[in-house]
Amino acid sequence: MKINTTTLAKDFIKENVKNGDIVIDATMGRGNDTLFLRQLVGDSGFVYAFDIQEEAIKATENRLIENNIYSNVSLILDGHQNIDNYIKEDNISCVVFNFGYLPRANHNIATKPDTSITAIQKSLQVLKVKGVVSLCVYQGGDTGFEEKEAILNFVKNLDYNKYTVIVSDFFNRPNYPPIHIKIIKEI
Ligand SMILES: C[S@@+](CC[C@H](N)C(=O)[O-])C[C@H]1O[C@@H](n2cnc3c(N)ncnc32)[C@H](O)[C@@H]1O
């Protein structure tokens, strides 16, 4: 398979998440990332997953059950902008964002620039040193460009002494493919 935003994100997550870690899936959707994270952290780790849609919670629950996973995951029906109401630790290894809308559902229920930025900001606060944030950011089509521009502007201005930010863009591919952003907390 050709490299794409999803493979980039998965490789980055795999490199940075190990057994026993506490991690966050900030956009649960149909649970692919929640499952992936839970498999990486194992029975001694923990995954917090957020979504604003009941349908996402149900789909993710089913996905986990199909894979015989019944523990060490909390599926939270709330916006990722409120993660600080649920997560009091500051030892999170990885926060995963896959922005946009729930596939095969209403495209109008999607992540929004303001709440996305708040959620990224709060994620950085709960990360441990050397913890990472993985961001898959869509553009064009139903998504438009506003969220991508807002996120790029936000990460561009993060203090380079504290955070390393790497942006991957499939520069010669047509139709505005999604971009991947890596954030590493350095100190
Ligand atoms: C592209 S999907 C995520 C795909 C998912 N990671 C997977 O593995 O299937 C984006 C999800 O973000 C959710 N979402 C939108 N606004 C949100 C918010 N403020 N907080 C948390 N989730 C949100 C949508 O409901 C949708 O399910």
Which residue lies with its CA nearest to atom 27 of ligand 1?
29
Instruction: Say which CATH architecture domain 5-185 belongs to.
Output: 3-Layer(aba) Sandwich (3.40)
- Identify the pLDDT of residue 178: 97
| Ligand 1 atom at shortest distance from the alpha carbon of 96 | 6
Output the CA 161–ligand 1 centroid distance in Å: 30
Query: What residue segments make up the domains of the chain, in order of their start?
Result: 5-185
CA distance 143 to 178: 10
Q: Which residues of 101-128 are buried (b: 16+ CB within 10 A; e: fewer)?
A: bbeeeeeeebbebeebbbbbebbbebbe
Q: What tokens does 75 get?
A: 């599926």
- Per-residue pLDDT tens over the stretch 4-61: 999 999 999 999 999 999 999 999 999 999 999 999 999 999 999 999 999 999 999 9
pTM: 0.98
Q: For residue 165, what are the β-bridge partners?
A: 183
| Ligand 1 atom at shortest distance from the alpha carbon of 26 | 21
